[in-house]
Chain A
């Protein structure tokens, strides 16, 4: 069981908006550590999608956005496209574990 909790799956039709939640605790997100998001396409290595809660690396479309509250974070994808079908992971740092941690991952299906 992951320290960061994500829904196992979400889905949406092309053009729609979906959100993926990432729930942590007082020893990670609640401690103030940043949340980062990764996209993993089938058969590929993960790719950084959002860093520092809400920042996009160069080349990531602005359809992807991140937000964070006290002990949780969210990834929003607007204008859903078929190419967005992938696994998405949140990541943060945990003070109690003294290690970085990932959420369990969310499979996005574009209907």
Chain B
């Protein structure tokens, strides 16, 4: 059974940093792209970042470009999101999602339950 478990969400002050982690199991992690998607409660979904199986292709939403960094460790079956210079508008539930192929351009076939990030003074 595919499982994705996010961690690292917290309350943080504007301008500070936070690192999210997502541990995958139940599939061959190194074969698939991985993604971070966020959702402000009551609002729509936003693709934050995606990374291909070998980290060769990485993409970011314009809203986080230059502030967030996605990375993965296939040996640990994990994907990370380093969030720097956080802003109040980054407050959201952050989902980790598994791609259905090695490319970050395809669908997201499994999702975690999310980890909440709140940016507030």
Contacts and interface: CB of A to CB of B under 8 A. Distances in A.
Given A45-B112, A45-B113, A45-B114, A102 B107 contact: no
Contacts of B95: 45-46
B106 interface: yes
A48 B47 contact: no
Contacts, number: 68
Contacts of A89: 44-45
Contacts of B47: 91, 99-102
Interface of B: 35, 37, 44-47, 49-50, 59-62, 95, 100, 104-114
A51 B107 CA distance: 6
A99 B103 CA distance: 11
A102 B62 CA distance: 13
Contacts of A47: 111
- A: contact size bracket: 20 to 34
Contact of A2 (B44, B108, B110): B44
Q: Is the interface of A mostly helix, strand, loop or mixed?
A: strand
A64 interface: no
| Nearest 7 A/B pairs, CB to CB | A99-B59, A36-B107, A51-B107, A45-B111, A93-B105, A100-B47, A105-B44
Given A99-B59, A100-B59, A91 B107 contact: yes
Given A98-B59, A102-B45, 16 more contacts: A45-B113, A46-B95, A46-B108, A46-B111, A48-B108, A48-B110, A51-B109, A52-B107, A89-B45, A91-B108, A93-B106, A100-B47, A100-B50, A102-B37, A103-B44, A105-B45
Nearest to B58: A98
